[in-house]
A = this chain, B = another copy of it.
């Protein structure tokens, strides 16, 4: 812990991606993961953040005494995965996706450069995985990046739901913690199975 000169402890752990006000939607998978990460961070269990969406800023209006207003900008494709951080001393990196398919996860939902990034991370000794929310089945699974890599290299267009069930780890829904995926990380990467 950090000791402040004035004795005050700052609360950090807030996500860099507040729910965008233009979207006007309910709580979604991404928000639940952000809440989960904030909880893990407050508990000092892990420090994991979602990276902000890259936005190319083209025009900014400056008015004296006011904060600058971006008046023209464009969403960009991120180069990496959405989430990364440190857990149990290890670098951890994952992408979270949701699908309405009941029987498989379509690989077209996962851009090639994100798979490439996960592979680079694993080659460097980090933990890399996919977290998939099957909306209609109401299940969430962790699937190790090496399995994703295999399906991709074999030119498959999707990963069957049964692969998630047999080779992944289900993330049980929590009360205090919405998506307690670190329990699945513990089981897959840290237990002597």
Asked whether, in the complex, the Cβ of A47 is within 8 Å of the Cβ of B117, the reply is yes
How many residues of A are in contact with the other chain, CB < 8 A? 71
The answer to whether the Cβ of A103 comes within 8 Å of any Cβ in the partner chain is no
Stretch at the interface among A55-63, A162-170, A176-184: A55-63
Copies in the complex: 2
Give the interface of A toward B (CB within 8 A). 1-6, 10, 12-18, 20-22, 41, 44, 46-47, 49, 51-60, 67-76, 78-80, 84-91, 93, 112-113, 115-117, 119-121, 123-126, 149, 152-155
Q: Can you name 20 A-B pairs with beta carbons within 8 Å?
A: A1-B123, A2-B115, A6-B155, A15-B79, A16-B78, A17-B54, A22-B57, A22-B59, A22-B60, A44-B123, A44-B124, A47-B117, A49-B80, A51-B51, A52-B52, A69-B73, A84-B84, A86-B93, A87-B124, A89-B91
